[in-house]
A and B are shown apart, each in its own frame.
Chain A
Amino acid sequence: MMQERTINALVLAGFVLLPIWALATDEPFTITLATRAVLLALAAVGLNIALGIGGLVSLGHAVFFGLGGYAMGILAFHAQSFTPLELGPLTIAGTKSMPIIWLCAIVVSALAAFVIGLLSLRTTGVYFIMITLAFGQMFFFFSISWSAYGGEDGLSIWVRNSFPGLNTLIPIQFFGLCFAALCLALFIHWRLRASPFGLTLNAARQNPARVEAVGLSPIRLKLLAFVISGAITGLAGALFADLNRFVSPTMFSWQLSGELIVLIVIGGVGRLMGPVVGAAVFVALEHLLGGLTDFWHIWLGVILLVIVLFSRGGIIGALTGKAGPHV
């Protein structure tokens, strides 16, 4: 049995070594795969703040992923077509600069998370799952029918956006950028969990009545967690769109929300590195099984069933021999 800390270090080391190895053997596609895993992990790390610490089973986190993606898509679209973006009385110029795009993605998804959280947190349990799902569908259908930005066909961006001092067109440099964002998000999760806020949030998950009795507001704690969570997932969406140079309504799809939960549970619920392990395994399975059969989702489904039914702590739980902090 291994220590969770050892596993965490090994996983992070793997994420550093794999692209370096790929660079040495000249396999740029492996770097792209690793970047994909890092970005899915980043999105799931975001969700894990709401789900893992706060116990909020959100089946609508694709909203923030999609909003981040569209924030990037819309700004870059206006920059590449040299048309200003008109928001009522405001006129904004498009931009190809990643820091500005990220800021927009984070702000927009945080705002959306605030509004959605404010409404959804009035409910609990199944109702919460369903109302977040419904918000996801709202954005999905809206993006399909809003033809100004491609509607159902999505929006292509010709050249990847730029980051000062880096050449993002080189896969390894873009990977480094995404990996740095992931490490930052993991750091935030780690600090948050040990902070007074994280501890009270954890308490609010376990027993909201007692938290209320000591004079704290469980809903306010959960709302803040939901906003932070949405903002991180939004950032992941902006980067993911940049990886593919393409945004489409699938980024809002409920399957994506489901997959984000799947990533967390494969790795281990309530664990710092759960989403990262989950995303690595998911992308590896997608690549390996997808190469063997067109129907790899069957096997993903079976694996998932086995994990849910028989191994409560996900992969990290199986390796450490300890069930998760909670299931």
Chain B
Amino acid sequence: MSTILIIEQILNGLQFGIMLFLMAAGLTLIFGVMGLINLAHGSLYMIGAFAAAAVAGATGSFALALIAALAAAALAGAIVEIVVIRRLYAAAHLDQVLATFALILVFSEGTRWVFGSFPLFLDVPSYLSGPITLPGGIQYPLYRLALILIGLLVAFALWWLTVRTRLGVQIRAGENDREMIAALGVDISKLYTIVFALGAALAGLAGALVGAIQSVQVGMGEPVLILAFVVIVIGGIGSIKGAFIGAILVGLTDTLGGIFLPQFFKLFMEAGAATQTGSALASMAVYVLMSLVLIWRPTGLFGARS
């Protein structure tokens, strides 16, 4: 096993983790501010990817596709918030789980109805395709490197938004005491719509960016959604910092586990059985990680509420 392979895999893990962060940041923000579990977050990811693929197919511009993804997901998020989600804030978790599960059914089948069951394809733009040579002579796909940078940029922007802007102050205040900030004259229902649309836009962006390296199809959101839940549970629900660290942990565990666990079992097992045991355990690794974190800290790494 060469150093180059290890570095490549670490970069892959980082890239995966950072895309998970885009999903998880929205989820954790929505939970933190509104106390809502949104299972339909994966549908917003899917909507972003489909909007990007449709616009890229029509115009050929990747930049326009990304803007379309952001806009479509934010719009879908705002509509869903106003029509359905708004009625669920005071409801029990069970009702939230069910209503958003129902939304998944509506969105998935609706998308299948409009676009059909065949996957769409979104191409990596020519200026981002091909490998790039990193210091040390490592060849790495430029697009994946760009994903890492975009993700870091978004993470920074999110930090700046929550810490340095008026909206951020309102969001953080809303997490602590919603009656108080409503009493201080903040239009709380507008704030909730904005936060939901913001989370949706982040999910849509992630969908569009990942859509270019995977296929764009119905049901693409749910596996990512579940991993994003794992991320926010590890990080502590409501904490953006936790979501970032959780996302990187999950991304690295999933990617490196898939490569190194089979190799590890080959040290003391015969090759076939080692590959099987290794890959079976690797597919469970992030969930094992989550269980361990929860057993050690039942509210996650940075979770405050009990």
Contacts and interface: CB of A to CB of B under 8 A. Distances in A.
**Are these two chains actual partners, yes or no?**
yes
Interface of A: 51, 57, 59, 119, 122-123, 125-127, 129-131, 133-135, 137-138, 141-142, 144-148, 254, 258, 261-262, 265, 269, 295-298, 300-302, 304-305, 308-309, 327
B106 A126 contact: no
Given A261-B98, A327-B95, A301 B291 contact: no
Contact of A135 (B108, B283, B291): B291
Given A265-B94, A301-B106, 11 more contacts: A141-B283, A144-B283, A145-B276, A145-B283, A147-B276, A261-B97, A297-B105, A298-B105, A298-B109, A301-B105, A309-B99
Nearest to B282: A145
B106 A130 contact: no
B92 A327 contact: yes
Q: Is the interface of A mostly helix, strand, loop or mixed?
A: helix
B84 A305 contact: yes
A126 B37 CA distance: 7
Contacts of B108: 297
11 contacts: A119-B295, A127-B237, A135-B291, A298-B113, A301-B103, A301-B104, A301-B109, A304-B99, A304-B105, A309-B87, A327-B94
B290 A134 contact: yes
Contact of B109 (A145, A295, A327): A295
B276 A146 contact: yes
Interface in B287-305: 287-288, 290-291, 294-295, 298-300
Interface in B258-306: 276, 279-280, 283-284, 287-288, 290-291, 294-295, 298-300
A55 to B, nearest CB: 9
Contacts of B105: 297-298, 300-301, 304
B290 A123 contact: no
Nearest to A139: B284
B178 interface: no
A197 B127 CA distance: 67
B101 A138 contact: no
B112 to A, nearest CB: 7
A254 B279 CA distance: 21
A301 B280 contact: no
Nearest to A51: B94
B18 interface: no
Choose among A137, A142, A265 the residue with the greatest number of B CB atoms under 10 Å from its CB: A137
B31 A126 contact: yes
A304 B98 CA distance: 8
Choose among A130, A144, A261, A295 the residue with the greatest number of B CB atoms under 10 Å from its CB: A130
B20 to A, nearest CB: 14
Contacts of B97: 57, 59, 129, 258, 261
B93 A305 contact: no
Interface string B226-258: 100110010001000000000000000000000
